[in-house]
Amino acid sequence: MNGQVAIEQGRQPWLPSRDAEEVLVLHRYDMPLIGVIRQDGDLYLYRCIEGQTEASHLWAYSALRQDELEVLSEASPEAIDQAVDAAASDRPVVVALAHDGTGITASAIVAAPQRYESLVHAAGSVLREASSEVDEKLAHLVV
Amino acid sequence: MPERPSRPPLRPDEVLTQYGRQDATGFRNRPRPGVEEAISVIVGRLTAAEAHALIIRRGTYRPGFDVVRYTTVAALSEAGFRPQRDPTPAIPDHVLVFAEGEWDDEAADRFDTCFGRVAGEET
- Domains of chain A: total: 1
CB atoms within 10 A of CB A52: 22
pLDDT of B102 reads: 94
Residue A1 lies in a domain: no
pLDDT of residue A136: 72
Mean pLDDT score of chain A, rounded to an integer?
A: 90
State whether the Cα torsion B23-B29-B34-B38 is positive or negative. positive
Q: Mind listing the pLDDT tens digit of every residue in chain B (123 residues)? A: 556 667 889 999 999 999 999 888 789 999 999 899 999 999 999 999 999 999 999 888 999 999 999 999 999 999 999 999 999 999 999 999 999 999 999 999 999 999 987 777 544
Spatial neighbors of A94 by CB under 8 A, at least 6 apart, are A4, A5, A7, A60, A61, A62, A107, A108, A109, A110
Q: Establish if B64 touches chain A: CB-CB under 8 angstroms.
A: no
Inter-chain residue contact B20 with A26, CB threshold 8 Å:
no
Instruction: Write down the pTM of the prediction.
Output: 0.91
- Which chain A residues in 8-67 lie under 8 Å from chain B, judged by CB atoms? 12, 24-31, 33-34, 49-50, 52-55
d(CA B67, CA B24): 13
Q: Would you say residue A4 lies in a domain?
A: no
Q: Which residues of B touch A73 (CB under 8 A)?
A: 1-2, 89
Strands B39-43 and B15-21 turn out to be antiparallel
Q: Which residues contact A87 (CB under 8 A, 6 or more apart)?
A: A45, A62, A64, A65, A68, A71, A72
Taking an 8 Å cut-off on Cβ atoms, the answer to whether A28 and B32 are in contact is: no
d(CA B71, CA B73): 7
Angle subtended at Cα A121 by Cα B39 and Cα A13, rounded to the nearest 5 degrees: 35
Give percent of chain A with pLDDT exceeding 90.
69
Q: For residue A112, how many other CB atoms are within 10 A of its CB?
A: 10
Strands B81-85 and B118-119: unpaired
ipTM higher than threshold 0.85:
yes
pLDDT at A143 over 50: no
- Phi first, then psi: give them for residue A66, nearest 5 degrees: -60, -40
Structural domain contains residue A10:
no
Torsion of CA B9, B13, B15, B16, to 10 degrees: 60
Hey, are the CB atoms on B94 and A28 less than 8 Å from each other? Answer: yes
Among partner residues A29, A53, A80, which is closest to B89 by beta-carbon distance?
A80
Asked if the model's pLDDT at residue A134 lies above 80, the reply is no
What distance in Å separates the CA atoms of residue B38 and residue B63, rounded to the nearest whole number? 27
Domains of chain B by residue range: 16-119
Helix (H) or strand (E) holding A130: helix A119-141
Q: How far is A140 from chain B (nearest CA, A)?
A: 37
> Distance between CA B114 and CA B108 in Å, rounded?
10
Identify whether A99 is part of a domain: yes
Among A41-45, A62-66, A111-115, B78-82, where is mean pLDDT lowest? A111-115
A95 Cβ under 8 Å from any chain B Cβ: no
Give residue A129's domain range.
21-141
Distance from CA of A17 to the nearest CA of B (A): 15
The answer to whether A53 contacts B20, with C-beta atoms less than 8 Å apart, is: yes
On whether any CB of chain B is under 8 Å from the CB of A101, the answer is yes
Q: What average pLDDT does the segment A104-111 reach? A: 93
DSSP state of B116: -
Backbone angles phi and psi of B96, in degrees to 5? -105, 135
Q: Which residues of B touch A31 (CB under 8 A)?
A: 32, 35-36
- Through-space distance between the first and last CA atoms of chain B, rounded to whole angstroms: 36
A46 domain-assigned: yes
Q: A9 near A18, Cβ under 8 Å?
A: no
Residues 6+ apart with CB under 8 A from B120: B22, B48, B63, B64, B65, B66, B67, B68
